[in-house]
Amino acid sequence: MTINPKKICLIVDNPLRDLDGLVLLAWHLVCSSHQVFLVPMYEQQFDLFSIKPDIVVFNYVRKNNSNLITALHSCGIEIVILDTEGNPLIPIRGVLERIAALNIEQCITKYLLWGPEQYSSFKESGIINANKLVITGCPRYDFAAYPLRATLSNPIPFSDYILVNTNFPTINPKFTKGIADEEKTMRMLGYDNELVKEITSKIIENFQAFIDRLRSIIDENPQLVFVLRPHPFERGETYGTLIKSENLFIYDQGTSISAINNCRLFLHAQDCSTAYEALMIGKPIVSLKNFMPCVTLDNFPPDDYSFLPKTEADLLQFFSNRATVSTSNINSDSFGHQKEEVIRANYYKLDGNSALRAAAEIDSIQVNRKPWQQGVQSGFKRIFQIIIGYTVYQALGRIVRPAGILKRRLKSFSVGDIERILTRINRARESDSLIDVILYRPRDLKSRRMSSKKTVLLSKTFNWNPDQTQSCQR
């Protein structure tokens, strides 16, 4: 049990993708007597200064949060990075160059990495001190391994379906006004305008080719149920407009892992990171890469264990044979050892203990500062926020940027959401650990003015039995 309990904030970017893994991480930390705050990403500018934590676990390091990280560091807060987008498809060289340009290494206490490949790239670059780099794996993939996998419910009201995962958020964005906004973001990340236009053009070509192939498959196979799950940052209604069919259903509920776990077969355009998840769970994979005008990756490891039809006839014949779709030996166990190596290189150990490893690293951080060491919080925006408080600032924001309201609503989560995940975790771990889950309400007036009242606090119940800490480690 931890001798010095800490106040730890976990930043939640996209609840649909990240909440399961972060609640699991919080569960382990609470079992070690810490107080854990799940902070919505859009509220972090206010809530972190209201909570005054000992440690903040950020979802990434980018230009848009570098000033916040620097301000918190100046207040004596320990900074940990547990990147929610460390998957092998993210161009690691670009990530490292952007981190280097921020000159923020001195602010980071630990950087928790997904797997050996990512670790090697970071270490070789020298951008982050090697002593700060730790391979833990990503907590959300703990749900792809037993015993947590046994708790996955089916978010889709069908028991026999072909899952179609899409990955076109750049041209079909859910949280921005459209392609122009996405291109602006790419330019902010350091891409020159010519490259941005080239990337967008290729994605549009691939999107149209994907829609054409998918429409053909669905129209030719009315006997099959197709469930399309858009990327968490995509608008699902776009697909319903482009493909009108009685056997196509669009669902964006639940995690991608839960949707894959219950499907018969996994279909994607090309190079979708969720193909790795299908590989983890052992589902047959079909890729439409050979039909894409622009190939994004020549070497995509899941392709070695997938069916890649070369002609329209091959594609339609595959899906028209119900027996083939049901009993396909694609992704068969004969590839077991090779698949494990691919997964381990990028996602480390698929053992259900990534969150436990991350919690142990966070728990080991020594906090030596005073309860709250006020640092320099520079910048007009920050000073303005402090003066007027959260409520007034957001009211002004709704007038200036009304689209921001939708973003916040789509990325919200509730106490009930977290309690349901905790119930599943306790069941999988055979634990009776009792954790209080409440909306955080600061007591002093100054902190109340800065609080969004949307952050959720997890802590031990008043009548916690010390023996329960042992049950947490199962």
pLDDT, greater one: 431 or 214: 214
pLDDT, greater one: 160 or 449: 160
Same domain? For 25 and 139 the reply is yes
**Does some domain include residue 2?**
no
Q: What residue numbers bound the domain in which 209 lies? A: 152-344
Same domain? For 50 and 163 the reply is no
- Beta carbons of 29 and 8 less than 8 angstroms apart: yes
Same domain? For 138 and 156 the reply is no
**Does some domain include residue 112?**
yes
**Does some domain include residue 19?**
yes
**Does some domain include residue 224?**
yes
End-to-end CA distance of the chain: 14
**Does some domain include residue 128?**
yes
Which strands, in side-by-side order, build the sheet including 248-250?
248-250, 226-229, 162-165, 265-268, 285-287
Question: Residue 336 above 90 pLDDT?
Answer: no
The structural domain count of the chain equals 2
- What's the per-residue H, E or C state across 418-464? HHHHHHHHHHHHCCCCCEEEEECCCCCHHHHHHCCCCCEEEEECCCC
For position 433, what pLDDT does the model report? 76
Question: Residue 334 above 50 pLDDT?
Answer: no
CATH number of the domain where residue 355 is located: 3.40.50.2000
**Does some domain include residue 423?**
yes
Residues of the chain with pLDDT > 90, as a percent, come to 55
Question: Residue 390 above 80 pLDDT?
Answer: no
Q: What is the pLDDT of residues 175-233, one digit of tens each?
A: 888 899 888 888 876 778 888 899 999 999 999 999 999 999 999 999 999 999 999 88
Q: Decide which of 281, 312, 344 is a domain's last residue.
A: 344
**Does some domain include residue 238?**
yes
Confidence of residue 359 (pLDDT cuts 50, 70, 90): very high
Please give the mean pLDDT across all residues of the chain: 85
pLDDT, greater one: 208 or 465: 208
Same domain? For 46 and 98 the reply is yes
pLDDT, greater one: 153 or 296: 153
Question: Residue 311 above 70 pLDDT?
Answer: yes
**Does some domain include residue 394?**
yes
Question: Residue 41 above 80 pLDDT?
Answer: yes
Same domain? For 72 and 17 the reply is yes
Q: Decide which of 315, 344, 373 is a domain's last residue.
A: 344
Mean pLDDT of 166-171: 93
CA dist., res. 26 & res. 30, Å (int): 6
Question: Residue 330 above 80 pLDDT?
Answer: no
Same domain? For 272 and 367 the reply is no
Q: What is the pLDDT of residues 258-285, one digit of tens each?
A: 999 999 999 999 988 899 999 999 999 9
Question: Residue 167 above 50 pLDDT?
Answer: yes
Neighbouring CB atoms inside 10 A of 160's CB total: 10
Confidence of residue 406 (pLDDT cuts 50, 70, 90): low
Surface-to-core class of residue 315, CB atoms within 10 Å of its CB (0-12 exposed, 13-18 middle, 19+ buried) = buried
Same domain? For 303 and 377 the reply is no
Same domain? For 132 and 185 the reply is no
Q: Decide which of 344, 359, 387 is a domain's last residue.
A: 344
Same domain? For 287 and 364 the reply is no
Mean pLDDT of 169-175: 90
For position 472, what pLDDT does the model report? 54
Same domain? For 141 and 230 the reply is no
Same domain? For 194 and 333 the reply is yes
Same domain? For 173 and 294 the reply is yes
For position 4, what pLDDT does the model report? 79
CA dist., res. 118 & res. 86, Å (int): 8
